[in-house]
C-alpha cells in the first residue's frame, strides 16, 4: 500500500474515533471497521482474487478504501451502497482524495432495493456492514447475487452477537455454505458458498 493511502487511512481513523466519541447520535457516527478488519478484508479479497466486490454500508468510505486497494491489485473494483445523503457526500470526498476513485462505484440508495435490482451471481465478494435488523430480510437477495464459491463477510459478529444471532444461525445451518466467526476487530462472520 502506498504512503498516500496509508496517510489517508490514518487520518480517517483519527477522525472517526474523535467524531464517534463526541456524539451519541448513531446517524452522525462513522462506525468504521477497525484497522485489523481492514487488513483482513484486504487479505481475503487478494487471496480469493475477488474482482467484483460489493459493500453494503459505506459511511464515509473508510472500509471501502481497504476493499478498493485490494480489488484494484487483482484487477477488480468495488460497488458500495449507502443510503444517507450526508455519508454519501463524505464518502465522495474520501474517494476523491484517494487514488482509487476509478475502481469505486458509489450507489446512493437503499441496499434492499440495490440487491433486488442486481443480477444473479454478479458479485464475488460481499461485505455487509449496515442496518443489522435488515440482514435476514436481505439474505435471499444476498444469496442470489453472490456467485457460487463467492464469500460473504459480516461485521459486528461478536460486538453485536445477539443482534446477529438469528442471521448467523440461518446461514450456518445451510448445508451448501461453510461459515465461521473470526475474532478480528468487532468479529467477522464469514460464509462461502461451497460448490461440492
Ligand X SMILES: C[S@@+](CC[C@H](N)C(=O)[O-])C[C@H]1O[C@@H](n2cnc3c(N)ncnc32)[C@H](O)[C@@H]1O
Residues that bind ligand X (CB under 6 A): 31-33, 57, 59, 62-63, 81-84, 87, 110-111, 129-131, 134
Smallest distance from the beta carbon of 176 to ligand X, in angstroms? 27
| Nearer residue to ligand X within complex by CB, 113 or 194 | 113
* Matching residue, cell 443489522: 132
CB of 41 to ligand X, least distance (A): 9
- What crossing angle do the helices spanning 3-22 and 62-73 adopt, rounded to 10°? 160
Q: What is the DSSP letter of 101?
A: G
Shortest reach from residue 60's CB to ligand X, in Å: 6
Q: Which lies closer to ligand X via its Cβ, residue 76 or residue 185?
A: 185
Grouping H, G, I as helix, E, B as strand and the rest as coil, residue 179 is: strand
CA distances from 6 to 1, 70, 130, 193 (A): 7, 13, 25, 33
The minimum distance between CB 192 and ligand X, in angstroms, equals: 20
The three three-digit cell numbers of residue 125, written as one number: 465478494
Would you say 83 or 152 has its CB closer to ligand X? Answer: 83
Amino acid at each position: 500500500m502506498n504512503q498516500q493511502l496509508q496517510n489517508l487511512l490514518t487520518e480517517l481513523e483519527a477522525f472517526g474515533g474523535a467524531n464517534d466519541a463526541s456524539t451519541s447520535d448513531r446517524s452522525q457516527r462513522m462506525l468504521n471497521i477497525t484497522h485489523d478488519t481492514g487488513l483482513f478484508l484486504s487479505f481475503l479479497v487478494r487471496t480469493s482474487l475477488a474482482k467484483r466486490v460489493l459493500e453494503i454500508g459505506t459511511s464515509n468510505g473508510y472500509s471501502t478504501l481497504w476493499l478498493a486497494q485490494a480489488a484494484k491489485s487483482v484487477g477488480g473494483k468495488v460497488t458500495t451502497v449507502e443510503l444517507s445523503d450526508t455519508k454519501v457526500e463524505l464518502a465522495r470526498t474520501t474517494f476523491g482524495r484517494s487514488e482509487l476513485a476509478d475502481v469505486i462505484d458509489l450507489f446512493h440508495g437503499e441496499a434492499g432495493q440495490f440487491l433486488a435490482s442486481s443480477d444473479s451471481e454478479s458479485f464475488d465478494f460481499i461485505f455487509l456492514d449496515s442496518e443489522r435488523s435488515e440482514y435476514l430480510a436481505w439474505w435471499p437477495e444476498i444469496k442470489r447475487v453472490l456467485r457460487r464459491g463467492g464469500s460473504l463477510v459480516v461485521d459486528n459478529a461478536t460486538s453485536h452477537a445477539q443482534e446477529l444471532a438469528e442471521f448467523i444461525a440461518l446461514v450456518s445451518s445451510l448445508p451448501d455454505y461453510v461459515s465461521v466467526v473470526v475474532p478480528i476487530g468487532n468479529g467477522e462472520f464469514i460464509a462461502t458458498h461451497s460448490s461440492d
